[in-house]
Structure 1
Amino acid sequence: MFTTRGEKGGNVTRVPPGVALQPMRGGFVLLVAGLALAAGAVIAGIGLVFVSLAEGFGPASWWWLALGVPATALTIFLLAGVYVTGTELIMRENPRNLIIAAALLGGTVPGLGALSIWWFWRGSDIVLHPELIDYPGWNRELIQQGLICGAGSAAAAIGCLVLALIAVRGARRARRDVARILRLRATGGPRPGIIIALPDPATWNHGGDVPIRYQDDSGGERTIRVRLNTYAHEIPVPGTPVIVFTDGDDLLVELDSDHPVEYHPDNRPYESDTSGGGS
Protein backbone atom coordinates (compact mmCIF):
# COMPACT_ATOMS: atom_id res chain seq x y z
CA MET A 1 0.00 0.00 0.00
CA PHE A 2 1.51 3.29 -1.16
CA THR A 3 0.57 6.71 0.15
CA THR A 4 1.67 10.02 -1.29
CA ARG A 5 0.84 12.24 1.69
CA GLY A 6 2.68 10.40 4.45
CA GLU A 7 -0.33 8.53 5.85
CA LYS A 8 0.48 5.40 7.83
CA GLY A 9 -1.13 2.81 10.07
CA GLY A 10 -4.82 3.36 10.68
CA ASN A 11 -4.82 6.55 8.61
CA VAL A 12 -4.13 4.70 5.37
CA THR A 13 -7.14 4.67 3.04
CA ARG A 14 -7.57 1.20 1.57
CA VAL A 15 -9.82 1.05 -1.48
CA PRO A 16 -10.20 -2.47 -2.94
CA PRO A 17 -10.31 -2.74 -6.74
CA GLY A 18 -13.73 -2.45 -8.31
CA VAL A 19 -15.53 -0.87 -5.36
CA ALA A 20 -17.63 2.29 -5.43
CA LEU A 21 -18.06 4.92 -2.74
CA GLN A 22 -21.45 4.23 -1.18
CA PRO A 23 -23.48 7.13 0.24
CA MET A 24 -23.50 7.54 4.00
CA ARG A 25 -27.16 6.87 4.67
CA GLY A 26 -29.20 7.19 7.84
CA GLY A 27 -29.19 3.42 8.26
CA PHE A 28 -25.57 3.50 9.38
CA VAL A 29 -26.36 6.21 11.93
CA LEU A 30 -29.21 4.07 13.27
CA LEU A 31 -26.86 1.09 13.43
CA VAL A 32 -24.38 3.08 15.53
CA ALA A 33 -27.18 4.40 17.75
CA GLY A 34 -28.48 0.86 18.20
CA LEU A 35 -25.01 -0.27 19.26
CA ALA A 36 -24.90 2.49 21.86
CA LEU A 37 -28.32 1.60 23.27
CA ALA A 38 -27.51 -2.12 23.34
CA ALA A 39 -24.24 -1.44 25.16
CA GLY A 40 -26.16 0.72 27.63
CA ALA A 41 -28.60 -2.12 28.26
CA VAL A 42 -25.66 -4.44 28.98
CA ILE A 43 -24.25 -2.02 31.57
CA ALA A 44 -27.66 -1.49 33.14
CA GLY A 45 -28.63 -5.17 33.19
CA ILE A 46 -25.34 -6.51 34.55
CA GLY A 47 -24.92 -3.56 36.90
CA LEU A 48 -28.39 -3.99 38.40
CA VAL A 49 -27.59 -7.61 39.20
CA PHE A 50 -24.69 -6.54 41.41
CA VAL A 51 -26.37 -3.56 43.05
CA SER A 52 -29.49 -5.63 43.76
CA LEU A 53 -27.37 -8.32 45.39
CA ALA A 54 -25.60 -5.64 47.43
CA GLU A 55 -28.98 -4.32 48.59
CA GLY A 56 -30.12 -7.74 49.73
CA PHE A 57 -32.59 -8.64 47.01
CA GLY A 58 -31.19 -12.16 46.97
CA PRO A 59 -32.00 -14.57 44.11
CA ALA A 60 -34.44 -12.07 42.59
CA SER A 61 -31.41 -9.99 41.59
CA TRP A 62 -30.52 -12.50 38.87
CA TRP A 63 -33.67 -11.65 36.95
CA TRP A 64 -31.84 -8.59 35.64
CA LEU A 65 -29.83 -11.00 33.49
CA ALA A 66 -32.96 -11.25 31.37
CA LEU A 67 -31.96 -7.77 30.22
CA GLY A 68 -28.17 -8.09 30.33
CA VAL A 69 -27.70 -11.38 28.46
CA PRO A 70 -29.84 -10.63 25.36
CA ALA A 71 -28.38 -7.12 25.28
CA THR A 72 -24.88 -8.61 25.24
CA ALA A 73 -25.74 -10.80 22.25
CA LEU A 74 -27.33 -7.83 20.48
CA THR A 75 -24.28 -5.66 21.21
CA ILE A 76 -21.95 -8.23 19.64
CA PHE A 77 -24.20 -8.49 16.57
CA LEU A 78 -24.45 -4.71 16.12
CA LEU A 79 -20.73 -4.28 16.78
CA ALA A 80 -19.98 -6.63 13.89
CA GLY A 81 -22.45 -4.71 11.73
CA VAL A 82 -20.88 -1.33 12.50
CA TYR A 83 -17.40 -2.77 11.88
CA VAL A 84 -18.26 -4.25 8.48
CA THR A 85 -20.47 -1.40 7.29
CA GLY A 86 -18.05 1.22 8.59
CA THR A 87 -15.20 -0.44 6.72
CA GLU A 88 -17.20 -0.40 3.49
CA LEU A 89 -18.28 3.23 3.89
CA ILE A 90 -15.08 4.78 5.27
CA MET A 91 -12.25 2.44 4.17
CA ARG A 92 -9.94 3.81 6.85
CA GLU A 93 -9.35 2.14 10.21
CA ASN A 94 -8.93 5.05 12.62
CA PRO A 95 -12.23 6.89 12.03
CA ARG A 96 -14.12 3.60 11.88
CA ASN A 97 -12.64 2.56 15.22
CA LEU A 98 -13.40 5.98 16.71
CA ILE A 99 -17.03 5.61 15.66
CA ILE A 100 -17.19 2.25 17.43
CA ALA A 101 -15.50 3.70 20.52
CA ALA A 102 -17.90 6.65 20.56
CA ALA A 103 -20.89 4.29 20.35
CA LEU A 104 -19.63 2.10 23.19
CA LEU A 105 -18.79 5.10 25.33
CA GLY A 106 -22.18 6.55 24.48
CA GLY A 107 -23.74 3.35 25.77
CA THR A 108 -22.39 4.08 29.23
CA VAL A 109 -24.56 7.21 29.35
CA PRO A 110 -27.94 5.41 29.60
CA GLY A 111 -26.30 2.47 31.39
CA LEU A 112 -24.89 4.52 34.26
CA GLY A 113 -27.97 6.74 34.09
CA ALA A 114 -30.18 3.73 34.82
CA LEU A 115 -28.01 2.78 37.80
CA SER A 116 -28.13 6.36 39.05
CA ILE A 117 -31.93 6.36 38.87
CA TRP A 118 -32.03 3.05 40.72
CA TRP A 119 -29.85 4.37 43.57
CA PHE A 120 -31.90 7.56 43.88
CA TRP A 121 -35.08 5.50 43.93
CA ARG A 122 -33.67 3.31 46.68
CA GLY A 123 -32.65 6.35 48.69
CA SER A 124 -35.76 8.46 48.23
CA ASP A 125 -38.57 6.24 49.54
CA ILE A 126 -38.55 5.55 53.27
CA VAL A 127 -41.17 2.84 52.72
CA LEU A 128 -38.32 0.71 51.41
CA HIS A 129 -36.43 1.14 54.69
CA PRO A 130 -39.04 1.54 57.49
CA GLU A 131 -36.60 0.33 60.12
CA LEU A 132 -34.38 3.36 59.43
CA ILE A 133 -37.02 6.07 59.71
CA ASP A 134 -35.63 7.32 63.03
CA TYR A 135 -32.07 7.68 61.70
CA PRO A 136 -31.33 11.01 59.96
CA GLY A 137 -29.10 10.54 56.93
CA TRP A 138 -30.11 6.90 56.50
CA ASN A 139 -30.08 7.37 52.73
CA ARG A 140 -26.84 9.34 52.47
CA GLU A 141 -24.78 6.49 51.04
CA LEU A 142 -27.50 5.59 48.54
CA ILE A 143 -27.73 9.17 47.31
CA GLN A 144 -23.94 9.31 47.02
CA GLN A 145 -23.97 6.19 44.86
CA GLY A 146 -26.60 7.81 42.66
CA LEU A 147 -24.53 10.97 42.35
CA ILE A 148 -21.42 8.97 41.42
CA CYS A 149 -23.28 7.08 38.69
CA GLY A 150 -24.87 10.29 37.47
CA ALA A 151 -21.49 12.03 37.31
CA GLY A 152 -20.06 9.08 35.42
CA SER A 153 -22.94 9.24 32.96
CA ALA A 154 -22.38 12.97 32.41
CA ALA A 155 -18.63 12.48 31.91
CA ALA A 156 -19.30 9.68 29.44
CA ALA A 157 -21.69 11.93 27.52
CA ILE A 158 -19.01 14.61 27.17
CA GLY A 159 -16.39 12.06 26.13
CA CYS A 160 -18.79 10.51 23.63
CA LEU A 161 -19.50 13.90 22.08
CA VAL A 162 -15.79 14.68 21.70
CA LEU A 163 -15.05 11.27 20.19
CA ALA A 164 -18.04 11.54 17.86
CA LEU A 165 -16.90 14.93 16.54
CA ILE A 166 -13.37 13.62 15.92
CA ALA A 167 -14.74 10.45 14.29
CA VAL A 168 -17.09 12.37 11.97
CA ARG A 169 -14.28 14.68 10.92
CA GLY A 170 -11.99 11.72 10.27
CA ALA A 171 -14.69 9.86 8.33
CA ARG A 172 -15.28 12.87 6.09
CA ARG A 173 -11.57 13.14 5.36
CA ALA A 174 -11.35 9.43 4.63
CA ARG A 175 -14.31 9.52 2.25
CA ARG A 176 -12.80 12.49 0.42
CA ASP A 177 -9.61 10.47 0.03
CA VAL A 178 -11.61 7.48 -1.25
CA ALA A 179 -13.24 9.76 -3.84
CA ARG A 180 -9.79 11.05 -4.82
CA ILE A 181 -8.43 7.53 -5.30
CA LEU A 182 -11.45 6.45 -7.35
CA ARG A 183 -11.19 9.60 -9.47
CA LEU A 184 -7.51 9.00 -10.21
CA ARG A 185 -8.18 5.37 -11.08
CA ALA A 186 -10.92 6.44 -13.48
CA THR A 187 -9.42 9.54 -15.08
CA GLY A 188 -5.71 9.60 -14.25
CA GLY A 189 -3.91 8.07 -17.21
CA PRO A 190 -2.11 4.94 -15.97
CA ARG A 191 1.64 5.05 -16.45
CA PRO A 192 4.00 2.11 -15.93
CA GLY A 193 6.66 2.45 -13.30
CA ILE A 194 8.95 0.47 -11.04
CA ILE A 195 10.28 0.58 -7.49
CA ILE A 196 13.95 1.44 -7.84
CA ALA A 197 15.23 0.99 -4.27
CA LEU A 198 14.41 -0.46 -0.87
CA PRO A 199 13.25 1.75 2.02
CA ASP A 200 15.93 2.96 4.41
CA PRO A 201 16.04 0.63 7.46
CA ALA A 202 17.19 3.54 9.63
CA THR A 203 13.92 5.41 9.05
CA TRP A 204 11.62 2.38 8.96
CA ASN A 205 8.51 3.00 11.06
CA HIS A 206 5.50 0.92 10.09
CA GLY A 207 6.80 1.37 6.55
CA GLY A 208 9.20 3.68 4.78
CA ASP A 209 9.76 5.88 1.74
CA VAL A 210 10.70 4.29 -1.58
CA PRO A 211 11.58 5.92 -4.92
CA ILE A 212 9.32 5.24 -7.89
CA ARG A 213 10.38 5.81 -11.50
CA TYR A 214 7.69 6.17 -14.15
CA GLN A 215 7.13 7.67 -17.59
CA ASP A 216 5.53 11.10 -17.73
CA ASP A 217 3.31 12.53 -20.48
CA SER A 218 6.26 13.58 -22.59
CA GLY A 219 7.69 10.07 -22.62
CA GLY A 220 10.53 10.98 -20.30
CA GLU A 221 11.26 9.40 -16.95
CA ARG A 222 10.33 10.95 -13.63
CA THR A 223 11.24 9.84 -10.12
CA ILE A 224 9.07 10.45 -7.05
CA ARG A 225 9.19 9.27 -3.46
CA VAL A 226 6.13 7.72 -1.85
CA ARG A 227 5.53 5.95 1.43
CA LEU A 228 5.32 2.15 1.37
CA ASN A 229 3.09 0.84 4.18
CA THR A 230 3.62 -2.86 4.67
CA TYR A 231 4.96 -5.56 6.96
CA ALA A 232 8.69 -5.99 7.31
CA HIS A 233 8.52 -9.38 5.59
CA GLU A 234 6.46 -8.05 2.65
CA ILE A 235 8.75 -5.40 1.16
CA PRO A 236 8.76 -5.56 -2.66
CA VAL A 237 12.17 -5.91 -4.27
CA PRO A 238 13.58 -3.15 -6.49
CA GLY A 239 12.26 -3.55 -10.01
CA THR A 240 8.74 -4.44 -8.87
CA PRO A 241 6.26 -3.03 -11.44
CA VAL A 242 3.78 -0.40 -10.30
CA ILE A 243 1.09 1.70 -11.95
CA VAL A 244 1.10 5.47 -11.46
CA PHE A 245 -2.20 7.29 -11.95
CA THR A 246 -1.87 11.04 -12.27
CA ASP A 247 -3.91 13.96 -13.53
CA GLY A 248 -1.01 16.38 -13.44
CA ASP A 249 -1.79 17.79 -9.99
CA ASP A 250 -2.20 14.61 -7.96
CA LEU A 251 -1.03 11.03 -8.23
CA LEU A 252 -1.74 7.53 -7.00
CA VAL A 253 0.70 4.62 -6.94
CA GLU A 254 -0.42 0.99 -6.85
CA LEU A 255 1.25 -2.35 -7.45
CA ASP A 256 0.75 -3.71 -10.95
CA SER A 257 -1.73 -6.55 -10.43
CA ASP A 258 -0.68 -8.16 -13.72
CA HIS A 259 2.70 -9.07 -12.26
CA PRO A 260 3.38 -11.26 -9.21
CA VAL A 261 5.10 -9.48 -6.34
CA GLU A 262 8.52 -10.68 -5.22
CA TYR A 263 9.41 -9.78 -1.65
CA HIS A 264 12.85 -8.88 -0.38
CA PRO A 265 14.29 -12.07 1.18
CA ASP A 266 16.32 -10.37 3.94
CA ASN A 267 13.94 -8.55 6.26
CA ARG A 268 16.26 -8.57 9.27
CA PRO A 269 17.10 -4.84 9.03
CA TYR A 270 13.36 -4.11 9.31
CA GLU A 271 12.36 -6.73 11.88
CA SER A 272 12.23 -4.27 14.76
CA ASP A 273 8.83 -3.28 13.34
CA THR A 274 6.58 -6.16 12.28
CA SER A 275 3.22 -4.54 12.97
CA GLY A 276 2.53 -3.49 9.41
CA GLY A 277 1.37 -0.17 8.14
CA GLY A 278 -2.18 -0.62 7.04
CA SER A 279 -1.71 -2.86 4.05
Structure 2
Amino acid sequence: MLLAVGGFATWWFMQKPSHNRQWADDVSQMLHAEVNGDTVVLNNVRNFEWRTETDYTPRWETREYDLSQLQTADLVLSYWMGPKIAHTLVSFGFADGRYLTFSIEIRKEKGEEFSPWKGFVRQYEAILVAADEADIIRTRSNARGEDVYIYRLAIPPEQLKTLFMAYVERANSLEKEPEFYNTLTSNCTTVVYDIAKQIVPNLPLDYRLLASGYFAEYAHEQGGLVEGFSYAELQEKGYIVLRAKAIQPGENFSEAIRRGVPGMQQSVQSD
Protein backbone atom coordinates (compact mmCIF):
# COMPACT_ATOMS: atom_id res chain seq x y z
CA MET A 1 0.00 0.00 0.00
CA LEU A 2 2.76 2.43 0.95
CA LEU A 3 4.59 1.64 -2.30
CA ALA A 4 1.45 2.37 -4.30
CA VAL A 5 0.88 5.68 -2.50
CA GLY A 6 4.53 6.60 -2.92
CA GLY A 7 4.43 5.73 -6.60
CA PHE A 8 1.34 7.86 -7.15
CA ALA A 9 2.87 10.78 -5.25
CA THR A 10 6.03 10.55 -7.36
CA TRP A 11 4.01 10.47 -10.57
CA TRP A 12 1.85 13.39 -9.35
CA PHE A 13 4.77 15.70 -8.65
CA MET A 14 6.51 14.76 -11.88
CA GLN A 15 3.62 16.17 -13.92
CA LYS A 16 4.56 19.63 -15.18
CA PRO A 17 2.27 22.10 -17.00
CA SER A 18 3.42 23.29 -20.42
CA HIS A 19 2.56 25.79 -23.12
CA ASN A 20 4.14 23.57 -25.76
CA ARG A 21 1.63 20.97 -26.94
CA GLN A 22 -0.51 20.39 -30.03
CA TRP A 23 -3.50 22.43 -28.85
CA ALA A 24 -7.06 22.25 -30.14
CA ASP A 25 -7.95 25.15 -32.43
CA ASP A 26 -10.26 26.94 -29.97
CA VAL A 27 -7.57 27.14 -27.26
CA SER A 28 -4.51 27.40 -29.47
CA GLN A 29 -3.74 31.06 -28.64
CA MET A 30 -2.95 32.53 -25.23
CA LEU A 31 -4.58 35.81 -24.28
CA HIS A 32 -2.08 38.66 -23.98
CA ALA A 33 -2.94 42.01 -22.41
CA GLU A 34 -1.23 45.40 -22.57
CA VAL A 35 -2.45 48.08 -20.15
CA ASN A 36 -1.89 51.81 -20.44
CA GLY A 37 -4.01 53.68 -17.93
CA ASP A 38 -7.64 52.94 -18.75
CA THR A 39 -6.75 51.54 -22.17
CA VAL A 40 -6.44 47.77 -22.42
CA VAL A 41 -5.30 46.12 -25.64
CA LEU A 42 -6.07 42.41 -25.78
CA ASN A 43 -4.33 40.18 -28.28
CA ASN A 44 -5.91 36.84 -29.23
CA VAL A 45 -9.54 37.63 -28.46
CA ARG A 46 -11.47 34.67 -29.89
CA ASN A 47 -14.26 35.36 -32.37
CA PHE A 48 -14.91 32.05 -34.10
CA GLU A 49 -17.96 31.54 -36.27
CA TRP A 50 -19.43 28.23 -35.08
CA ARG A 51 -21.79 26.32 -37.36
CA THR A 52 -21.46 23.06 -35.43
CA GLU A 53 -18.99 21.86 -32.79
CA THR A 54 -16.66 20.66 -35.54
CA ASP A 55 -17.50 23.08 -38.36
CA TYR A 56 -16.22 26.59 -37.66
CA THR A 57 -14.25 29.50 -39.04
CA PRO A 58 -11.41 30.44 -36.66
CA ARG A 59 -10.71 34.12 -35.97
CA TRP A 60 -8.30 35.57 -33.43
CA GLU A 61 -8.46 39.36 -33.07
CA THR A 62 -6.74 42.26 -31.35
CA ARG A 63 -9.22 44.51 -29.57
CA GLU A 64 -8.90 47.71 -27.56
CA TYR A 65 -11.10 48.59 -24.59
CA ASP A 66 -11.52 51.80 -22.60
CA LEU A 67 -12.13 50.86 -18.97
CA SER A 68 -13.65 54.27 -18.25
CA GLN A 69 -16.51 53.12 -20.51
CA LEU A 70 -17.05 49.84 -18.65
CA GLN A 71 -20.68 49.71 -17.49
CA THR A 72 -21.84 46.20 -16.59
CA ALA A 73 -20.86 42.65 -15.73
CA ASP A 74 -23.05 39.61 -16.32
CA LEU A 75 -22.83 36.08 -14.97
CA VAL A 76 -23.40 33.32 -17.53
CA LEU A 77 -23.99 29.68 -16.59
CA SER A 78 -23.98 26.96 -19.24
CA TYR A 79 -25.28 23.54 -18.18
CA TRP A 80 -23.72 20.60 -19.97
CA MET A 81 -24.04 17.72 -17.47
CA GLY A 82 -27.33 17.99 -15.59
CA PRO A 83 -28.50 20.61 -13.07
CA LYS A 84 -25.55 20.37 -10.67
CA ILE A 85 -22.71 21.20 -13.04
CA ALA A 86 -22.40 24.33 -15.16
CA HIS A 87 -19.61 26.21 -16.87
CA THR A 88 -19.22 29.71 -15.43
CA LEU A 89 -18.41 32.78 -17.52
CA VAL A 90 -18.40 36.53 -16.85
CA SER A 91 -19.23 39.01 -19.61
CA PHE A 92 -18.39 42.73 -19.41
CA GLY A 93 -20.41 45.41 -21.19
CA PHE A 94 -19.12 48.76 -22.45
CA ALA A 95 -20.83 52.05 -23.27
CA ASP A 96 -20.34 51.50 -27.01
CA GLY A 97 -22.47 48.35 -26.85
CA ARG A 98 -19.63 45.83 -27.05
CA TYR A 99 -19.36 42.83 -24.74
CA LEU A 100 -16.31 40.78 -23.83
CA THR A 101 -16.59 37.41 -22.09
CA PHE A 102 -13.92 35.76 -19.93
CA SER A 103 -13.86 32.01 -19.35
CA ILE A 104 -11.39 29.76 -17.51
CA GLU A 105 -11.21 26.49 -19.45
CA ILE A 106 -9.11 23.42 -19.87
CA ARG A 107 -6.55 23.79 -22.64
CA LYS A 108 -7.38 20.70 -24.67
CA GLU A 109 -4.89 19.07 -26.94
CA LYS A 110 -5.99 18.11 -30.45
CA GLY A 111 -8.42 15.20 -30.21
CA GLU A 112 -8.61 15.38 -26.41
CA GLU A 113 -11.94 15.26 -24.55
CA PHE A 114 -12.77 16.66 -21.12
CA SER A 115 -13.15 14.34 -18.14
CA PRO A 116 -13.90 15.76 -14.67
CA TRP A 117 -11.87 12.95 -13.13
CA LYS A 118 -8.77 13.67 -15.21
CA GLY A 119 -9.15 17.24 -14.01
CA PHE A 120 -8.24 16.08 -10.51
CA VAL A 121 -4.88 14.59 -11.52
CA ARG A 122 -2.94 17.22 -13.44
CA GLN A 123 -3.97 16.15 -16.93
CA TYR A 124 -5.14 19.52 -18.26
CA GLU A 125 -3.52 22.92 -18.42
CA ALA A 126 -5.72 25.94 -17.69
CA ILE A 127 -6.32 28.79 -20.12
CA LEU A 128 -8.22 32.07 -19.79
CA VAL A 129 -10.21 32.70 -22.95
CA ALA A 130 -11.49 36.17 -23.82
CA ALA A 131 -14.10 36.02 -26.55
CA ASP A 132 -16.94 37.72 -28.34
CA GLU A 133 -20.33 36.63 -26.97
CA ALA A 134 -21.40 35.51 -30.46
CA ASP A 135 -18.57 32.97 -30.20
CA ILE A 136 -18.26 31.74 -26.64
CA ILE A 137 -21.92 31.91 -25.57
CA ARG A 138 -23.51 31.09 -28.90
CA THR A 139 -21.45 27.93 -29.37
CA ARG A 140 -22.91 26.63 -26.11
CA SER A 141 -26.52 27.63 -26.70
CA ASN A 142 -26.66 26.82 -30.43
CA ALA A 143 -23.88 24.46 -31.54
CA ARG A 144 -23.61 22.31 -28.40
CA GLY A 145 -27.22 22.38 -27.25
CA GLU A 146 -26.43 23.36 -23.67
CA ASP A 147 -28.87 25.19 -21.37
CA VAL A 148 -27.55 28.74 -20.91
CA TYR A 149 -28.66 31.41 -18.44
CA ILE A 150 -27.54 35.02 -18.03
CA TYR A 151 -27.81 37.21 -14.92
CA ARG A 152 -26.93 40.85 -14.33
CA LEU A 153 -24.38 41.16 -11.53
CA ALA A 154 -24.99 43.86 -8.92
CA ILE A 155 -21.52 45.37 -8.95
CA PRO A 156 -21.02 49.10 -8.30
CA PRO A 157 -19.51 50.91 -11.32
CA GLU A 158 -16.34 51.80 -9.42
CA GLN A 159 -15.64 48.10 -8.79
CA LEU A 160 -16.15 46.90 -12.37
CA LYS A 161 -12.65 47.97 -13.34
CA THR A 162 -11.20 46.02 -10.40
CA LEU A 163 -13.03 42.89 -11.53
CA PHE A 164 -12.02 43.31 -15.17
CA MET A 165 -8.38 43.93 -14.28
CA ALA A 166 -8.36 40.82 -12.08
CA TYR A 167 -9.10 38.80 -15.22
CA VAL A 168 -6.40 40.68 -17.14
CA GLU A 169 -3.87 39.91 -14.40
CA ARG A 170 -4.95 36.27 -14.39
CA ALA A 171 -4.42 36.10 -18.16
CA ASN A 172 -0.93 37.57 -17.93
CA SER A 173 -0.07 35.20 -15.07
CA LEU A 174 -1.12 32.15 -17.09
CA GLU A 175 0.74 33.42 -20.14
CA LYS A 176 3.92 33.82 -18.09
CA GLU A 177 3.66 30.54 -16.16
CA PRO A 178 1.48 27.57 -17.23
CA GLU A 179 -0.78 26.07 -14.57
CA PHE A 180 -2.88 22.96 -14.26
CA TYR A 181 -6.65 23.13 -14.28
CA ASN A 182 -8.07 21.39 -11.21
CA THR A 183 -11.69 20.20 -11.07
CA LEU A 184 -11.82 20.87 -7.33
CA THR A 185 -9.61 23.84 -6.52
CA SER A 186 -8.98 25.79 -9.74
CA ASN A 187 -11.94 25.54 -12.07
CA CYS A 188 -14.19 27.99 -13.91
CA THR A 189 -16.29 28.71 -10.80
CA THR A 190 -13.64 28.81 -8.07
CA VAL A 191 -11.66 31.31 -10.12
CA VAL A 192 -14.73 33.59 -10.33
CA TYR A 193 -15.08 33.25 -6.56
CA ASP A 194 -11.41 34.08 -5.97
CA ILE A 195 -11.68 37.16 -8.17
CA ALA A 196 -14.95 38.27 -6.54
CA LYS A 197 -13.26 38.14 -3.13
CA GLN A 198 -11.09 41.03 -4.23
CA ILE A 199 -14.27 43.11 -4.15
CA VAL A 200 -16.10 41.39 -1.26
CA PRO A 201 -13.36 39.90 0.98
CA ASN A 202 -15.78 38.17 3.38
CA LEU A 203 -17.58 36.02 0.80
CA PRO A 204 -18.33 32.70 2.52
CA LEU A 205 -17.20 29.36 1.19
CA ASP A 206 -20.09 27.23 -0.02
CA TYR A 207 -20.71 23.80 -1.55
CA ARG A 208 -22.14 25.58 -4.61
CA LEU A 209 -18.62 26.54 -5.61
CA LEU A 210 -18.22 22.85 -6.47
CA ALA A 211 -21.83 22.15 -7.50
CA SER A 212 -21.44 25.02 -9.94
CA GLY A 213 -24.93 24.64 -11.36
CA TYR A 214 -26.16 26.37 -8.21
CA PHE A 215 -23.63 29.20 -8.31
CA ALA A 216 -26.16 31.81 -9.48
CA GLU A 217 -28.38 30.90 -6.54
CA TYR A 218 -25.39 31.41 -4.23
CA ALA A 219 -24.66 34.79 -5.87
CA HIS A 220 -28.30 35.82 -5.41
CA GLU A 221 -28.20 34.94 -1.69
CA GLN A 222 -25.06 37.07 -1.30
CA GLY A 223 -26.75 40.08 -2.94
CA GLY A 224 -24.64 39.66 -6.05
CA LEU A 225 -27.47 39.66 -8.62
CA VAL A 226 -29.84 42.46 -9.64
CA GLU A 227 -32.22 43.32 -6.80
CA GLY A 228 -36.02 43.17 -6.72
CA PHE A 229 -36.49 39.66 -8.14
CA SER A 230 -36.60 36.19 -6.66
CA TYR A 231 -34.00 33.73 -7.85
CA ALA A 232 -36.70 31.74 -9.64
CA GLU A 233 -37.73 34.85 -11.60
CA LEU A 234 -34.15 35.66 -12.54
CA GLN A 235 -33.54 32.08 -13.67
CA GLU A 236 -36.72 31.96 -15.77
CA LYS A 237 -36.12 35.30 -17.48
CA GLY A 238 -32.39 34.66 -17.84
CA TYR A 239 -32.78 31.53 -20.00
CA ILE A 240 -31.39 32.56 -23.39
CA VAL A 241 -31.50 29.45 -25.58
CA LEU A 242 -34.83 30.08 -27.32
CA ARG A 243 -33.82 33.67 -28.10
CA ALA A 244 -30.36 32.60 -29.24
CA LYS A 245 -31.71 29.98 -31.64
CA ALA A 246 -34.30 32.40 -33.07
CA ILE A 247 -31.73 35.02 -34.07
CA GLN A 248 -31.91 36.04 -37.72
CA PRO A 249 -28.89 36.80 -39.94
CA GLY A 250 -27.54 40.27 -39.18
CA GLU A 251 -29.25 40.48 -35.79
CA ASN A 252 -27.14 41.51 -32.81
CA PHE A 253 -26.53 38.45 -30.63
CA SER A 254 -25.80 40.32 -27.40
CA GLU A 255 -28.96 42.39 -27.73
CA ALA A 256 -31.16 39.43 -28.57
CA ILE A 257 -30.14 37.23 -25.65
CA ARG A 258 -30.75 40.05 -23.14
CA ARG A 259 -34.32 40.86 -24.14
CA GLY A 260 -36.51 40.72 -21.07
CA VAL A 261 -33.67 39.87 -18.69
CA PRO A 262 -33.99 41.83 -15.41
CA GLY A 263 -31.63 44.76 -15.06
CA MET A 264 -30.40 44.74 -18.65
CA GLN A 265 -30.67 47.58 -21.12
CA GLN A 266 -32.43 46.64 -24.32
CA SER A 267 -30.35 48.88 -26.58
CA VAL A 268 -27.09 47.16 -27.53
CA GLN A 269 -25.03 48.34 -30.48
CA SER A 270 -23.18 46.16 -32.94
CA ASP A 271 -19.45 45.61 -32.72
Bigger share in strand: 2
Q: Is the structural similarity TM-score above 0.5?
A: no
Which TM-score band (shorter chain)? under 0.3
Q: Which structure's CA Rg is the greater one?
A: 1
Q: TM-score, normalised by structure 1?
A: 0.19
Q: TM-score, normalised by structure 2?
A: 0.19
